[in-house]
Amino acid sequence: MVVRIGHYYQVQSRAEISFKGGVFQAMVTEEGRDWAATLRAYRHPKVLVMLFFGFSAGLPLLLIFSTLSLWLREADIDRSTVTYFSWAALGYSFKFIWAPLVDRLPLPLLTALLGRRRGWLLLAQLSVIGAISWMAFTDPAENLHMMAFAAVLLGFSGATQDIVIDAYRIESAERELQALMASMYIAGYRVGMLVAGAGSLKLAVWFGAEGGYNYSAWQWTYLCMAAVMSIGLITTLLVSEPKVESGRPVLFHDAFDYLRFLLLFLLAVSVFAAVFFLSADRVAAAKADWAAALPQDSLLIGFGLEGGRLLLAMLLAGLAARLGVALGLVRAAVLRETYLEPVADFFRRYGRVALLVLALVGLYRVSDIVLGVISNVFYQDMGFSKDQIADITKTFGLVMTILGGFLGGMLTLRYGVMRILFVGALLSAGTNLLFLLLARSGADVSLLILVITADNLSAGLAGAAFVAYLSGLTHVAFTAFQYALFSSLMTLVPKLLGGYSGSLVDAFGYERFFLFTAVLGLPVLLLIYLASRYAAAE
């Protein structure tokens, strides 16, 4: 028997997976579940494609973060400047702002040749390759500002690629395949990060970056990374365009319409960036004053100030957009259809439980992310060597995450999204308690392996189920914007809280901190239970 649960179908007896004419089908019998058939589902072409797209999406991120940081430090750039470069990746957190452009605007020539999704994907991937090449031909010791511009372009291009890949994945296959596609995407993403992280460092050493600063070694390393991006580019050219009719009205009729909308977009983004970054010093000063006056409440006050800063920037950006509409920069209908209608559509479909769903999206990964922010510092404080951290937590941990992702995809297909979403949240919170044991034991390598195995397996499992859940929340008419909004919301609150993880450890110690992160996961279990009850009542 198959029972509909929201956008998903819960198989309550054996499901045999078959493919007829390229269409995924779940055929239910009564004898039991055929796990071999579930494994065969990973050979579906649409699932395999996500491995290559995941690799293409995972490659740019570390070329802005850890790999670039090492390059800058070798070039004798001071630490404070190096950390500023992490802002180049803020596009990944705010990609929902320009997701409507990707969703609605056709590209000259590319859209006609390749289609709406593949045209944007090709442009984003060419931009990623161009940004990496730009970085390769820029020596930060000679021209740091040009390196900053190239890094910002890479962050923007990589985030744009993510927007299109997410939309492509959701639109290219049935919802029953989304969990498998999500797990394959996660596997590719992690491999891409490994190549950009450990792989690029190995290349830099091989090209001669081991004995002091050698710009040529880093140049060739980044050129190799640009060449590796051709994997995603070739995949884009080989796959077919999703055959989805959005049913949305045509709002842009000529080049002048595009230009005016882009100007409005740039106006809103400029206001947002100015308010958000220029208020940083004032917020930092206010946090220092409150910390001196009310030290016991400083963490809560600091979190409130950071959240208020973000909301103020978004509010003023929205007001700037409204001012642009009032001045006739674009028609009100364009702004409404592009930004407001996707949000209104979500609330229409989910009604009074929409806020419950948004709370689940915003908090599901809070336990993992808050702990992850300080995990490397914790390993060092416990006395583990850099080699042990790299080999166990990074390389071995990557393998466990990929295995967890495949397991999560299979279990989600067999038992439904909501059940595995609950199991993933429970395991993610529970495995944080293992870190408490590690904090008490010190540099115990065997225990570290056990902790990383449990933590990364559960993270991969939960991640696959959660991506499938987010995919089911989107409407075909607004895929790119809605998924970008959900994925940005997914990390917003956890990242804000994670910024205070060091202060929490200083105040309470590692053991109480890990207990706190485990407790953070308990409200998520309640939210999943309530969301499941609503889905079952549909």
Least confident of 28-32, 394-398, 459-463: 28-32
Domain 44-244 in CATH 1.20.1250.20: yes
Residue 46 pLDDT level (bands cut at 50, 70, 90): confident
Q: What is the mean pLDDT of residues 128-156?
A: 92
pLDDT at 108: 83
Q: What is the mean pLDDT of residues 432-450?
A: 90
What pLDDT is stored for residue 15 in this prediction? 34
Cβ contacts of 509-514, under 8 Å, gap ≥ 24: 509/439, 510/378, 510/381, 510/435, 510/436, 510/439, 511/436, 511/439, 511/440, 513/374, 514/371, 514/432, 514/433, 514/435, 514/436, 514/439
Q: Is 257 exposed, middle or buried (0-12, 13-18, 19+ CB in 10 A)?
A: middle
> CB-based contacts of 536: which residues, under 8 Å, 6+ apart?
3, 5
Would you state the pLDDT for residue 434?
Answer: 92
| pLDDT confidence tier of residue 27, bands split at 50, 70 and 90 | very low
Ranges 297-306, 467-476, 516-525, most confident: 516-525
Q: What is the pLDDT of residue 23?
A: 34
pLDDT of residue 219: 94
Over residues 394-407, the mean pLDDT reads 86
Lowest mean pLDDT among 32-46, 180-194, 449-463: 32-46
On the question of a common fold for 44-244 and 343-538, the answer reads: yes
pTM (2 d.p.): 0.73
Q: Which pair of tokens denotes residue 434? A: 């293992």
pLDDT(239) > 90: yes
Average model confidence (pLDDT) across the chain: 80
Query: Lowest mean pLDDT: which of 27-31, 313-317, 325-329?
Result: 27-31
pLDDT given for residue 2 in this prediction: 36
The C-alpha atoms of residue 467 and residue 138 are separated, in whole angstroms, by: 37
Domain 343-538 is classified in which CATH homologous superfamily?
A: MFS general substrate transporter like domains (1.20.1250.20)
Q: What sign does the dihedral 407-412-417-423 (CA atoms) show?
A: negative
Task: Write the secondary structure of 456-499 as one string of H (helix), E (strand) and C (coil).
Answer: HHHHHHHHHHHHHHHHHHCCHHHHHHHHHHHHHHHHHHHHHHHC
- Render pLDDT for 7-23 as a digit per residue (tens, 0 to 9): 333 333 333 333 333 33
Of all residues in the chain, what percent carry a pLDDT higher than 90?
22
Greater confidence (352 vs 127) lies with 127
Domain coordinates in residue numbering, the chain: 2-35, 44-244, 255-330, 343-538
- Tokens read off for 345: 């559509």
